[in-house]
Amino acid sequence: MASSDLTACQAFRYGRRAYGFLFHMEVTEEIIHNMVNTFADELREVGIDGSEIIERAKEYLPLLQRVGRHVFMRWANLVSERSA
């Protein structure tokens, strides 16, 4: 369902009701800053520039947040329908 250059499987569905997401759709700029700071050593080890992640996040966050809201709302509607 989703992939990246580094990870072939970023999202998947198992059967009709189980979904897995290997990324954070709820992420904010603050969370990204915290992640980059927390994992700075790991980023350096693999040659990834944390400041570039922070800068490029501004470009990608609006779309990611729209997708995240859509996914979470659809999930909430499913749960709500099943409990009614």
**What amino acid is encoded at 73 in this protein?**
M
Number of domains the chain contains: 1
Residue 54 within a domain: yes
> Does residue 19 lie in a domain region?
no
For residue 52, the enclosing domain spans 25-83
- Which pLDDT does position 38 carry in this prediction? 97
Query: Which tens digit of pLDDT belongs to each residue from 6-34?
Result: 889 988 888 877 888 888 888 999 999 99
**Strand-pair partners of 19:** 13
Name the DSSP letter for residue 2. B
The mean of the pLDDT values for the chain is 88
| 34-53: pLDDT as tens digits | 999 999 999 999 999 999 99
The CA-based angle 37-40-64, given to 5 degrees, is 65
For residue 59, being part of any structural domain is answered with: yes
In a domain, 2, yes or no: no
58: number of Cβ within 10 Å: 10
Check residues 5 and 57 and name the one with the higher pLDDT. 57
Residue 40 lies in a domain: yes
- Tell me if 61 is assigned to some domain: yes
Looking at residue 84, what is its pLDDT? 64
- For residue 8, being part of any structural domain is answered with no
Helix ranges, the chain (H): 29-38, 40-45, 50-83
Spatial CB neighbours of 67, under 8 Å, sequence gap ≥ 6 = 25
